[in-house]
Amino acid sequence: MTTPIDEVIHYLRTNGGSDFFTKASFSNFASISFAVDVFRDTGMNAPELANAQLAFTMWAELIAKPTTILTAPGGENIVFYFSDDIDPGEDGISRTPSLFPLYREVLINRETNPFQTSFGFGDYFGTALHEIGHALGLTHSGPYNGAADELIYGETNVYPEDTQQFTLMSYFDRDNIILSDETPTFTDHLITTPLLHDIAAIQAIYGAATSL
């Protein structure tokens, strides 16, 4: 049985329905600005900078809310940088500094996240997409955070489609769900764009883009 899309959107705003309030967003803002902080991350190279901006663009192109990518930090709503100021076991985080409730920081752990390779996207380009999704107002699709090893599909997921087939905000691998009589097979590939349920949820917050 397919989960109704309005329920899916609710799960992606409330950590699978476990939060009393929906996650804060920039829905009441006239526009959303994004910047990569090259001053705090002096080791960032040009391909990494381009891919960080592309990760934000992947979301921005889906929504009606005007967005801007700034050439330097200063006045942005979301700032992105690589950092060692996070737990070594975490690939990335999105956080709101206590004194700046209308500001989001997206930190990516460079040690575990090759962001750019000679072949294009690094292994963890999806981490940037995931954390920017948080910054824009999406939660995980279930009541979990940073505890992937403790999750068991079929026991701890809230709804069947809580997998990376449908949302990059999920912790469950894309091959968990079977929606037909055939067992799905997936080659080892990277998440390089928001997925079906991500699109529905982000457009529920900011409206759907009418043009690219």
| Mean of pLDDT over the chain | 84
Arithmetic mean of pLDDT, 165-186 = 73
- pLDDT for residue 96 is more than 50: yes
Query: In terms of DSSP H, where are the helices of the chain?
Result: 5-11, 46-60, 125-136, 196-206
Please list, in sequence order, all residues whose beta carbon lies within 8 angstroms of the beta carbon of residue 163, skipping any fewer than 6 positions away.
Answer: 153, 157, 170, 172, 173, 174, 175, 176, 177
pLDDT of residue 102: 75
- Binned at pLDDT 50, 70 and 90, residue 70 comes out as very high
- Binned at pLDDT 50, 70 and 90, residue 34 comes out as very high
Determine the Cα–Cα distance for residues 69 and 78; give it in Å rounded to an integer: 10
Q: What's the whole-model pTM score?
A: 0.90
Point out the least confidently predicted range of 77-86, 107-116, 133-142.
107-116
- Binned at pLDDT 50, 70 and 90, residue 118 comes out as very low
Determine the Cα–Cα distance for residues 184 and 210; give it in Å rounded to an integer: 33
Please list, in sequence order, all residues whose beta carbon lies within 8 angstroms of the beta carbon of residue 143, skipping any fewer than 6 positions away.
Answer: 15, 16, 17, 18, 158
pLDDT above 90 as % of the chain: 43
- Binned at pLDDT 50, 70 and 90, residue 144 comes out as confident
- pLDDT for residue 183 is more than 60: no
- pLDDT for residue 179 is more than 80: no
Arithmetic mean of pLDDT, 176-191 = 61
pLDDT of residue 138: 97
- Binned at pLDDT 50, 70 and 90, residue 108 comes out as confident
pLDDT of residue 20: 87
- pLDDT for residue 184 is more than 70: no
